[in-house]
Chains A and B, each alone.
Chain A
């Protein structure tokens, strides 16, 4: 068992008055001081705010007034989440001095739940560029090997959780920006169903693909954090007006009876994943079978079809947002963001309409495939983290993504660690479900995580 607590364990100890929220916050601030200079996960550490939050949590603890399982838990926010009175930059020169006057919806909800905010986390520029070395701040580094990429765009959250600087944090996911860094940093990250969590106050990248979600060491912790952010919000037009379930209610029920489909062609043929990634998935499927799940292969359209639709919509929606700035301040963007988003200028009106037509067909295809399934399994990333200094500029276009299909359809998906590859770095799988079935996804992920040894192993630098 790692010395760094999970949220679930910290919450148990805080409730039992065995753990002081102030001492917990100080421990994590100390870890940030010691480790973050090597990781660049934080763009800003809000120490005074953290200690004030922690003292308030401790007062509630001592008076028997804890607000729930997130009270006193050290977290941080991706720097596209607006924080009132606290700089929010999107890791970009364009917003270098931006200080919002309001909290993002989730920032406020987590604060109301009693979380302790330690600061703002690195991201790829406006949640899309990266890894970039031409921005006002350096990119986050992977704590398993600092020469390696974290993936992105929620790069700081991935690094900070893996290194135990925070117990959980926010991410956003337009094409895989939660699940990618979760995979390469060896943690858990869930992209909820489109509409489950509000994007209000989060700097957008592409309205119809953007999702807000949590990242943490375990699926259970993701469920606890998601509980604190899900729910209707009139300020997000995509917000779903429906009751919020208990995301941890099904944990511990195992996978017996679950119907699991495997989109094997995604990671064996469409974009062949590494041996370790495929072996990790096969071992997980064997575990699910042994535990009583029904497992069978399914076929969807090629991953490239989902990727083409998603990528075209993503850059075109991003250009609709950023066009005015790009026309005036092109060189103030980092190279990766400006060059990738410029491609949207080559998209015609009919191209865009065709993309939305094809999107609807892909959504229907996936819904039909899932009609008699509870979970579908595929890869999350093609393999272990590559070197951070050798990620090609067009890497996110050259081969189809495993994560984009679930942004295109809006279905929920979680990435969890399935072990380690030849380079000693984490590999992962992705579990996806029908809309608004997060409790089932978390149930399957938790069953796997608690049966495997991977959650006991932290990066060496995390101590």
Chain B
């Protein structure tokens, strides 16, 4: 994934982010919990439209 994003990191550099990646995976899972099908994305954020 890092390489696909254009980040060519050394094994040490990858190792440095692994603990954070584990926490971040949990955040991504939380974001992906089921939503009502009708929930639309707010692709351009506007405080009055949400």
Contact = CB atoms under 8 A, between A and B. Distances in A.
A300 interface: no
A435 interface: yes
B33 to A, nearest CB: 8
B31 A435 contact: no
Q: Provide the main secondary structure of the chain A interface.
A: helix
Interface in B1-50: 1-2, 4-9, 13, 16-17, 19-21, 23-28, 30-32, 35-36, 39-48, 50
A208 interface: yes
Contacts of B35: 354, 357-358, 361
A208 B5 contact: no
Given A308-B30, A358-B31, A409-B47, A397 B42 contact: no
Contacts of B20: 339-340, 343, 393-394, 397
A345 to B, nearest CB: 4
A291 interface: no
Nearest to B30: A308
A308 B29 CA distance: 9
Contacts of B40: 357, 360
27 contacts: A194-B47, A195-B47, A238-B45, A240-B47, A304-B30, A307-B27, A308-B26, A308-B31, A319-B5, A327-B7, A327-B8, A330-B9, A343-B20, A343-B21, A351-B31, A351-B32, A354-B35, A355-B31, A356-B42, A358-B39, A359-B50, A360-B40, A360-B42, A364-B50, A394-B20, A410-B45, A410-B47
Interface of B: 1-2, 4-9, 13, 16-17, 19-21, 23-28, 30-32, 35-36, 39-48, 50
Given A342-B2, A363-B47, 19 more contacts: A208-B45, A304-B30, A307-B27, A312-B24, A312-B27, A312-B28, A323-B6, A340-B20, A342-B17, A343-B24, A345-B2, A350-B32, A351-B28, A351-B31, A351-B32, A359-B45, A397-B23, A410-B47, A435-B47
Interface of A: 193-195, 208, 238, 240, 304-305, 307-309, 311-312, 315, 319, 323, 326-327, 330, 335, 339-340, 342-347, 350-351, 353-361, 363-364, 367, 393-394, 397-398, 409-411, 435
Shortest beta-carbon contacts, A-B, top 6: A363-B50, A410-B47, A345-B5, A356-B41, A208-B45, A308-B27
